[in-house]
Amino acid sequence: MAGGGRHTLYIKTDGTLWALGDNAYGELGNTQYSWSGWPSPVTNHVVKTSAGWLHTLFVTSDRTLWGMGRNDLGQLGDGTMINRSNPVPVAAGVAQVAAGANHSAYLKSDGSLWTMGRNIYGQLGDGTTTDRSTPLQVASDVARVAAGRLHTVFVKTAGSLWAMGVGSENTPMQMASGVAQVAAGGFQTLFVKTNGTLWTGLDAPAQVASGVAQVTAGEGHSVFVKTDGTLWAMGDNSSGQLGDGTTTYRSTPVQVASGVAQVAAGNNHTLFVKTDGTLWAMGDNEHAQLGDGTTTDRSTPVQVASGVYWVAAGGFHSMWVGGLASQVPAITQQPLGATNVVGTTASLSVGATGAAPLTYLWHKDGQPLPGATSQQLSLPNIQLSDAGHYHVLITNQFGSATSQVAVVAVEVGFVLGKGTPPRFSGGQFRFDVTGPPEQIVLIEASTNLHTWLPLWTNTLGSGLLYFSDPDSAGISRRFYRARFWP
């Protein structure tokens, strides 16, 4: 996976390259020139890909480098400065590729390093500050390369670290030796030596940690994972991207979490996967890039998924592999229908799992019920018009689930003791009777629920009346019921 400024690329196991997101300059490899929220295939036989701010590079199995998207500064390296909505071939024999914001670098299988694109700060390393639309070789015996916003760094086969652009010069300058891993952020460079020590800076590199296994960099912040699984962060913290509970800039690393397997950094947000497969996020959330269902910045890590085994970040978005099945809403308890008497309360409920927050919307006869947005649906003082077919739609950021239909039936009938609890008062047993207005009700009594004795008839009037049994005194057990009369 690769995340650009506003677009995403990923390669499937069958070698197909897929793209989604912003396509204003053709960076998705098609001529739609519009935002695409759904992945579309680009081409086949792809083995590597990298995303710049608004351009895309990829390498096919025959080691051909291809480019597409914005090209106003020559970042595609096709000899022009024309934007490309269809992939164009750039070079052959390519082993590795790295896209900066508006410049590009690639490594050939013979160890030669080539660059093209924006060069205002000398990030191409050709001794000038002239933009280049045609690739130019700038080094040899190179093992790996990384591109930041305005600089390029690479490690030679002997382990020496070299840099060009912001923080160095417009020709490659050696900065360190014995380097095993390197990361380029917006302006900062970090590298891990073969002894596991982490260093930062180019002019005068300084050691900041030891026992480091992985490092990555955002626009102005840096994060790394130690061999013991602890996650550490430093640098810009204006959006809480360091995850230490503050928005205070940190010039020295602070520990953020433990049990961490992998970390990724966007412009101003951070994501990490723990060894238990849970995904956590913190920092800028203006574009919902943290995936927690809000657009609120987070200065402490918030869990957003489980079952994840790989994560990546773009400028203002995030991607991960795995975890989807457990995040999509799934209904664990279906709502059950029932038959209810007019005037009573009917209740429906549903049970569901999935990534929070889950939202609920109940429907009656296929139409949404305004305000019915809870896990339970209550229908107080139910009337004949409330009878119907009910279901609930449950959604979250990953998908939706629709419940089975629950049939609510409503019957006209009488209810005893609904308003005032039945009681003895003045030597008589008393209770109220509610039911359909103007209906004649017959009150009957029994001592064995088999033989019923008629006691009293009356008209409900407005739907409520009170009954007192003058013969109830001294009777140890008596049952009452109400039914229509005649």
| Nearest-angstrom CA–CA distance, 48 and 55 | 15
Tens-digit pLDDT profile for residues 134-178: 999 999 999 999 999 999 999 999 999 999 998 788 999 999 999
Decide if 264 contacts 290 (C-beta within 8 A): no
| Nearest-angstrom CA–CA distance, 442 and 470 | 16
pLDDT at 324: 63
Tens-digit pLDDT profile for residues 105-117: 999 999 999 999 9
pLDDT at 14: 93
Residue 97 tokens read as 């590729």
pLDDT band at 439 (very low <50, low <70, confident <90, very high): confident
Tens-digit pLDDT profile for residues 361-406: 999 999 999 999 999 999 998 888 999 999 999 998 777 889 999 9
pLDDT at 411: 80
Mean pLDDT of the chain: 93
> With 70 as the cut, is the pLDDT of residue 323 above it?
no
- Give the DSSP letter string of 449-461: SSS-EEEEEEE-T
Q: Range with the lowest mean pLDDT among 26-30, 225-229, 367-371, 413-417?
A: 413-417
Q: How far apart are the first and last CA of the chain?
A: 77
Higher pLDDT, 439 or 246: 246
pLDDT band at 339 (very low <50, low <70, confident <90, very high): confident
Query: Average pLDDT of 230-237?
Result: 98
Helix (H) or strand (E) holding 160: none
3-state helix, strand, coil in the chain (%, to 5): 0, 50, 45
CATH 3.20.20.300 applies to domain 330-411: no
Sort strands 179-184 and 189-193 into parallel, antiparallel or unpaired: antiparallel
For residue 169, which of 105, 126, 113, 106 has the smallest C-alpha distance? Answer: 126
Query: Average pLDDT of 86-100?
Result: 97
Higher pLDDT, 38 or 301: 301
Query: Average pLDDT of 78-90?
Result: 97
> With 80 as the cut, is the pLDDT of residue 259 above it?
yes
Q: C-alpha 106: how far from its chain's center?
A: 32
Domain at 2-322, CATH from 3.30.565.10, 3.40.50.2300, 2.130.10.30, 3.40.718.10: 2.130.10.30
In terms of average pLDDT, the best of 122-131, 269-278, 425-434 is: 122-131
